[in-house]
């Protein structure tokens, strides 16, 4: 789940970790009661300071997405279908923003993107 964390990204690592958990919840990969990796385990795997992981987990706890239990771990809370839908919608927005930014860097117009998206959607529904 955390294989797309990029230390060279301008987005802080704690924010990338939190975003990845939000995406996993929105996609249904993580459900109520599922445990997240321990702070030490994830910090070691990502080669980051444990405080970075704690910051991500605390942000998610503030949002009500996880519950941190001293000595037991960090667990996904009961996520309503509405919350799951909001997380999916927010993830879609992030994807579109990233796509638009990358297209602008490459000189691709909105009309080019619209045409390509329409073509791809038609192709996948066949």
| Structure confidence by residue, pLDDT tens digits, 17-45 | 999 999 898 888 999 999 999 999 999 99
Residue 6 lies in a domain: no
Do 17 and 72 fall into the same domain?
A: yes
Does position 79 have pLDDT exceeding 80, yes or no? no
Structural domains in the chain (count): 2
Residue 2 lies in a domain: no
Q: Which domain holds residue 53?
A: 13-76
Residue 103 lies in a domain: yes
Do 87 and 66 fall into the same domain?
A: no
Do 26 and 58 fall into the same domain?
A: yes
Q: Please give the span between the terminal C-alpha atoms of the chain, in angstroms, as a whole number.
A: 30
Q: Per the structure block, which two tokens stand in for 52?
A: 């970075």
For residue 97, CA distances in Å to 19, 100, 114 come to 15, 5, 14
Residue 102 lies in a domain: yes
Q: Please compute the mean of the pLDDT values over residues 92-102 and round it to a whole number.
A: 89
Q: Specify the pLDDT at position 55.
A: 97
Do 42 and 96 fall into the same domain?
A: no
Of the ranges 34-38, 61-65, 93-97, the best mean pLDDT one? 34-38
Do 72 and 20 fall into the same domain?
A: yes
If pLDDT is split at 50, 70 and 90, which confidence band does 94 have? confident
Do 43 and 23 fall into the same domain?
A: yes
């Amino acid at each position: 789940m955390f294989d797309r964390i990029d230390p060279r990204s301008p987005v802080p690592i704690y924010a990338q970790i939190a975003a990845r958990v939000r995406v996993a919840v929105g996609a249904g990969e993580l459900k109520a009661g599922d445990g997240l990796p321990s702070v030490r385990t994830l910090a070691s795997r990502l080669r980051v300071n444990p405080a970075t992981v704690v910051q991500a987990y605390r942000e998610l706890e503030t949002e009500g997405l996880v519950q941190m239990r001293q000595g037991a771990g960090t667990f996904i809370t009961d996520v309503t279908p509405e919350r799951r839908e909001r997380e999916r919608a927010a993830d879609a927005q992030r994807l579109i923003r990233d796509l638009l930014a990358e297209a602008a860097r490459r000189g691709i117009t909105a009309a080019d993107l619209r045409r390509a998206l329409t073509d791809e959607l038609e192709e996948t529904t066949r």
